């Protein structure tokens, strides 16, 4: 039996804590207000005095949690801080040129897709390794085919928000997210086009442009731009975001000293690791000249123009042509999808197959030697080994003194014999 009327509410600790009954519950409850939220719990007690004693202990334990940051105010919820963190990232990194706008948009897209809604009302103080693994398990349950790389992107997006909270003093310590992965990291080759596939691709785009010439002028212009986009990408190795941000004034035509051929030198390449530059392979020059002509510019005007080389991102047209020509998937096992990223991969593979040093390729592509080695050179394997089947070779072992002396004597004897034969031949000729 309860000690008081169920509708009665009792206050204790100078009116800071309420002890009350709830409809449908046989137990007393207790609660208090904190920064716009009402925190409450069941005392699991049916008698008032026992409920009061529980409420006092519970209230003081909650005050300890508040002081340590375990209970946060609404200002410390992940959803609110995510918006602040994105604004801060853009101001501190993107606007100052340390990170690209494409990288910022990628993080924003990841947060808004599957991360922010999940953690929206969760205090950042409560996001730890346990919370990360719970989130990861829920994502795998919802999307069984989700890739490891996708989960890694989610983790990085969460870390970006937590790093911001740490810099603001909201978090006293950053949580460590520990994942149990295989010891061998997946270094599958990136999808690229072989020589025959690449030829089939750009011929298909050219024919598609010719087909549209008398049928749809706008789409015809788009197809012509896509044709040059593909050639430009596979002759420079630039990332998709870098291609989309490239301006006319960033490109110069120069003559290569070694071959006396024209190449492009591209500056102010805004990639995910800042600003860099590169030089193209020979095929990019004609593509650039076609773009200049199509936009109604002279080379002198192009040098001063801040307009972007490519006006439209033709992803849909590109994917339709890939599917129509059965180039969307690679012939590897398992097959992988091709997209605009495959243009950069094709450049890297072509340069490797033509014997360019890995270090120079990495520098020109603004990446690491390890990335080239792990994702390209290792998988090309035997195609890069031009001398693997040589037969004649020098022994790497040190010969014994006896064998070495015998070999030297034999070589001296053969030399003397050849000299004698040559002298005899000259004497007979003179006679």
The reply to whether domains 75-167 and 195-384 share a CATH topology is no
Of 60, 64, 81, nearest to 170 by C-alpha is 81
Q: For the chain (length 431 residues), average pLDDT per consecutive 10?
A: 57 92 91 85 93 94 75 73 92 83 87 90 86 92 88 92 91 84 59 93 94 93 96 94 92 92 92 82 95 94 94 93 94 88 93 89 90 80 58 52 57 63 53 45
Name the pTM for this structure: 0.61
Reduce the DSSP state of residue 184 to 3 states and report it.
Answer: coil
CATH hierarchy code of domain 195-384: 1.10.443.10
Q: What is the pLDDT of residue 378?
A: 75
Answer for the pair 292, 302: CB distance below 8 angstroms, yes or no: yes
Pick the CATH number of 75-167 from 1.10.150, 2.30.30, 1.20.120, 3.30.70: 1.10.150
Contact 416, 409 (CB under 8 A): no
- Residue 229: the pLDDT is 96
Place of tokens 């990291």: 185
User: What are the strands, taking DSSP E only, across 260-398?
Assistant: 262-271, 274-279
Domain ranges within the chain, ordered by starting residue:
9-71, 75-167, 195-384
- The structure tokens 């059965």 sit at 326
pLDDT at residue 4, rounded to an integer: 45
């Amino acid at each position: 039996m309860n000690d008081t009327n169920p509708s009665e509410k009792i206050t204790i600790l100078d009116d800071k804590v309420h002890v009350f009954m709830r409809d449908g519950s046989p137990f007393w409850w207790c609660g208090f207000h904190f920064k716009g939220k009402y925190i409450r719990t069941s005392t699991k007690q049916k008698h008032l005095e026992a409920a009061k004693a529980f409420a006092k202990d519970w209230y003081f334990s909650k005050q300890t949690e508040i002081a340590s940051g375990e209970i946060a105010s609404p200002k410390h919820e992940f959803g609110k801080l995510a918006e602040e963190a994105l604004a801060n990232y853009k101001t501190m990194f993107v606007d100052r040129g340390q990170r690209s706008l494409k990288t910022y948009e990628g993080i924003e897209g990841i947060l808004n897709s599957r991360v922010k809604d999940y953690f929206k009302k969760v205090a950042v103080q409560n996001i730890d390794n346990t919370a990360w693994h719970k989130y990861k398990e829920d994502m795998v349950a919802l999307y069984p085919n989700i890739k490891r790389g996708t989960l890694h992107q989610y983790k990085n997006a969460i870390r970006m928000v937590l790093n911001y909270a740490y810099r603001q003093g909201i978090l006293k310590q950053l949580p460590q997210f520990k994942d149990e992965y295989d010891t061998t990291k997946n270094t599958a080759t990136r999808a690229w086009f072989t020589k025959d596939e690449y030829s089939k691709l750009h011929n298909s785009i050219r024919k598609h442009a010719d087909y549209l010439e008398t049928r749809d002028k706008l789409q015809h212009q788009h197809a012509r731009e896509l044709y040059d986009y593909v050639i430009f990408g596979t002759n420079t190795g630039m990332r998709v975001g870098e291609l989309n941000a490239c301006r006319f004034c960033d490109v110069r035509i120069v003559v290569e000293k070694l071959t006396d051929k024209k190449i492009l030198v591209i500056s102010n390449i805004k990639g995910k690791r800042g600003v860099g530059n590169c030089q193209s392979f020979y095929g990019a020059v004609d593509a650039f000249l076609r773009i200049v002509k199509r936009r109604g510019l002279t080379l002198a005007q192009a040098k001063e123009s801040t307009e972007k080389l490519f006006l439209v991102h033709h992803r849909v047209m590109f994917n339709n042509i890939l599917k129509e020509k059965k180039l969307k998937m690679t012939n590897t096992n398992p097959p992988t999808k091709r997209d605009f990223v495959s243009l950069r991969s094709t450049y890297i593979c072509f340069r490797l197959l033509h014997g360019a040093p890995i270090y120079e390729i990495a520098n020109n592509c603004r990446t690491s030697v390890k990335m080239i080695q792990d994702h390209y050179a290792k998988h090309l394997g035997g195609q890069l080994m031009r001398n693997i089947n040589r037969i004649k070779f020098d022994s790497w072992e040190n010969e014994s003194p006896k064998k070495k002396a015998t070999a030297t004597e034999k070589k001296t004897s053969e030399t003397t014999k050849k000299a004698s034969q040559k002298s005899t031949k000259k004497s007979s000729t003179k006679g």
